[in-house]
Amino acid sequence: MHLQESITEEELLKTIRTLNASETHGILVQSPLPKHINAQRVFDTIDPDKDVDGFCSTNISRLYCGDVSGLVPGTPKGIMKIIENYFHIKDA
């Protein structure tokens, strides 16, 4: 879904809430956001179980504490897989 840069913060939050309530499996918000939008407020509106990037406060806290039971951001996970395979490490 592509939204216009001129979207208001409230319109964007409403869109995210609609996606949270839908059958959508994951939500990714492309950053940086326009200057008139509070990025952390946007990330924190995403349902933690649908937060593909792991940027909401709940998922940042989970990752910091070592809890990887939910979605783990793809780029760091991919890097860890490369390291594990390159160095033949398990549970890096």
Residue 63 is predicted with a pLDDT of: 84
Any idea what the Cα angle at residue 39 is, between residues 58 and 21, rounded to 5°? Answer: 60
Residue 70 is predicted with a pLDDT of: 75
Provide the residue ranges of all domains of the chain, joining segments of one domain with +.
Answer: 9-87
From the first residue on, what is the mean pLDDT of each consecutive set of 10 residues in the chain (92 residues)? 95 98 95 96 96 91 85 83 85 54
Residue 92 is predicted with a pLDDT of: 47
According to CATH, the superfamily of the domain at 9-87 is: Leucine Dehydrogenase, chain A, domain 1 (3.40.50.10860)
Residue 68 is predicted with a pLDDT of: 79
Cis omega (within 30 of 0) for bond into 32 = yes
